Structure 1
Amino acid sequence: MDKVRIGLVGYGIGGRAFHRPFLLDAAGVDLVGVVARSPAKHEQLATDLPGVTVHDSLGDLIAAGVDAVVVTTPPSTRRELVLQAIAAGVAVVADKPFAPDPATARAIRQAAADADVVVTPFHNRRWDTDLVTLRSVLDAGRVGTPLRFWSRFDLVERHGIATGIGGGVLSDIGSHLVDQAVSLFGPIDRVSCTLDVRDARSLGLDQDGPIDAGFTLAATHVSGVESVLTSNKAGWLGARQLRLDGVDGTYEATSTDVQAQAAVAGASPADDRSTWGVEPSSGTLTTESGTVDVPSAQSSYTDYYERFARAVRGLGPVPVPVDDAVHVVEVLDAARRSAASGETVTVPAP
């Protein structure tokens, strides 16, 4: 397969830590350009990606020749950039949140369908090592029919709460936790949600007014599985925990978010693929027979981009279907309405 020429639009912490190392590591991918405007970003790119052309605009990048773009800019600018790429016939990875509201998500999906262009959300956390390990336990039938799922992801990261359109922790971490639950147990039928709403200035953010610093979302899947998803960035203790109850057993794990921690620290899977993406501790599976350790699987976000490259060449499905992206946005919208009303809200059918 000819390598897919990909351009990266935006070079903040997401572009640098969560896209660059995995684009460089992915077979079938050639990172050929980056869109960045500030002089500081140009200097950083000269060090990080020597020889890769830096462009001032998406239009310039497309004119230089690309098969696909990864749009990592804030949600307030992302819609127009994604639609611009689609109109040019260029495949798109849209960072999360895929869209700030359901209407925008549906408009992007329709534009992609009309233009017959590949579009997929950057829900890379389907490839989180702890989730891949849990999925292997589930797929092997080791807990039997799944009943209840808990997912907690707390970060000591007040400064990392995104502001503006599409900001807040529900849109940020919530996009991933909802998508993970959907990938495991299928679409969500109804939700009940509470938000930890804080004054943005009190969190040290450059914004006036309230912002959600965390959430607890209870979801009922069409399959009957109940999921409880929770995250907070305003506390003082980080935690990543998963638990799955089934009729035959319970799987439980505490993890370190090993890939993200390594990527933010500047590491890359290309440094040592044999050790990349393995959690240092094991999960446990408890059944009628007792408790056994479940060693960590190995995973890499690189797999996301290798799947994307094959999809662009028509050799396989996208890593995450755009219908799932729209559904996640619908779930998050229902969660906000639930938090405002104090009632359980039905999610539109996918």
Structure 2
Amino acid sequence: MDRNEIGVGLIGYGLGGRAFHAPYIVATPGMALRAVVSRDTAKVRSDLPAMRVVPTVEALLAEPAIDLVVVSSPDLLHAEHALAAIRAGKHVLVDKPFATTFADARRVAAEAVTRGRLLTVFHNRRWDADFLTLRRLIRDGILGEIAHVESHFDRWRPVPAATWKEARDGGSWLDLGPHLVDQALQLFGTPSGISADIATLREGSLATDYFNVVLRYPHRRVVLRSSKLAADHSLRFAVHGTRGSWIKHGVDPQESATVAGHMPGGDWGRDPIEGKFTDANGVSNAVANDRGDYRLFWAALAAAIRGEGANPVPASEALAVMEILETALCGS
């Protein structure tokens, strides 16, 4: 065992642990995945044959060779598990949502400061190909002053699945909303107001499955939308500015690649579905996508733990996302 490596412990091996965390930890130079908390040893070892699987969070936190704990448990346990890991002297990465309440997220952030531990939240969609492309178009002034943005994460899931995720507190707003809110705050900062329509539209659904949330800025509106009753769910972004519009269909391919069992590496994160820019004269052209790469988050996190770089998602930024999420829930 190389003690110069950052030893990582993973809490949970559902979709998050299996597709968004374990493959990237394994692929990150200087990191070593040393243990996973799971009740399903066979599932973990089907992907990671030699992995140490422990039955409890307490057992994981007792491991002296673990420096970073990744919390990928159900939402309601995020704050509890993050606090326990920080108090055990570990650095912590919490999957989104940071917590189920703004108050709990603040407690976790305060504890990390008190204990001098690095705390970050997994807002990986900052490294999506489509988002990076949009950020470039805005930065380079291609679209002019942005007036209207629609950011979609739609699905076609007309029958609710019998899983905890379909009954989670906050429903799809706390599931998909964190991605869209974080991206909006990264591009445009804190809005001056919020209007929220968050609803349950599917028969038999135990949690909200639709949202249309408008972030109001003085001369801009940013609309965050998701429905699980969208048979045509290809639209990702529609952005309109004083110099033209950019329309993007299709989602970043990194999630589907890891779900399919591909390990990050090589020609990773290339989105083949190009967006279309239409200028003020009505002339349209395809826009090549920037390359998405979640590995950049993990490399930055490793550097931050070693004291060689900045936290890729500081707790203060994740708290700003949580405040918007909770404000929308209270006002819907």
Deviation, 1:235, is: 3.8
Letter in 1 for 2:290: A
Aligned to 1:284: 276
Deviation, 1:156, is: 2.0
Aligned to 2:221: 226
Deviation, 1:49, is: 1.0
Aligned to 1:26: 28
Aligned to 2:245: 250
Aligned to 1:127: 127
Aligned to 1:261: 256
Aligned to 2:315: 322
1:256 match: secondary structure: coil
- Alignment deviations for residues 243-274 of structure 1 (CA, whole Å, 9 cap, x no partner): 2222222222112331112222222223xx22
Which of the numbers 212, 217, 238 marks the counterpart of 1:216?
212
Distance 1:59 1:293 in 2: 52
Distance 1:243 1:319 in 2: 27
1:211 match: secondary structure: coil
Letter in 2 for 1:169: S
> Alpha carbons of 1:172 and 1:98: their partners in 2 closer, same or farther (altered >3 Å)?
same
Q: Which moved further from structure 2: 187-196 or 6-15? A: 187-196
- Contact 1:143–1:247 (8 Å) recurs in 2: yes
Q: Which moved further from structure 2: 149-158 or 232-241? A: 232-241
Report the identity percentage: 33
Q: Please, which runs of 5 or more residues in structure 1 have no aligned partner?
A: 204-209, 340-350
Letter in 2 for 1:282: E
Distance 2:164 2:274 in 1: 30
1:59 match: secondary structure: helix
Deviation, 1:239, is: 2.6
Deviation, 1:198, is: 4.2
Deviation, 1:153, is: 1.2
Aligned to 1:7: 9
1:47 match: secondary structure: helix
Matches within 5 A, 1:289-300: 290-300=283-293
Distance 2:108 2:17 in 1: 21
- Contact 2:6–2:67 (8 Å) recurs in 1: yes
- Contact 1:72–1:94 (8 Å) recurs in 2: yes
Aligned to 1:310: 303
Aligned to 2:196: 193
Deviation, 1:33, is: 1.1
TM-score with structure 1 length normalisation? 0.87
Letter in 1 for 2:314: P
> Alpha carbons of 1:252 and 1:235: their partners in 2 closer, same or farther (altered >3 Å)?
closer
- Contact 2:215–2:222 (8 Å) recurs in 1: yes
- Contact 2:201–2:210 (8 Å) recurs in 1: no
Q: Please, which runs of 5 or more residues in structure 2 have no aligned partner?
A: none
Aligned to 2:49: 50
Letter in 2 for 1:211: A
Deviation, 1:173, is: 0.4
Deviation, 1:240, is: 3.7
- Alignment deviations for residues 114-149 of structure 1 (CA, whole Å, 9 cap, x no partner): 111111111111111111111121122211232221
- Contact 1:161–1:167 (8 Å) recurs in 2: no
- Alignment deviations for residues 89-138 of structure 1 (CA, whole Å, 9 cap, x no partner): 21111111111111111111111111111111111111111111111211
Alignment root-mean-square deviation, CA: 2.0
Distance 1:331 1:142 in 2: 29
Distance 1:91 1:163 in 2: 30
1:335 match: secondary structure: helix
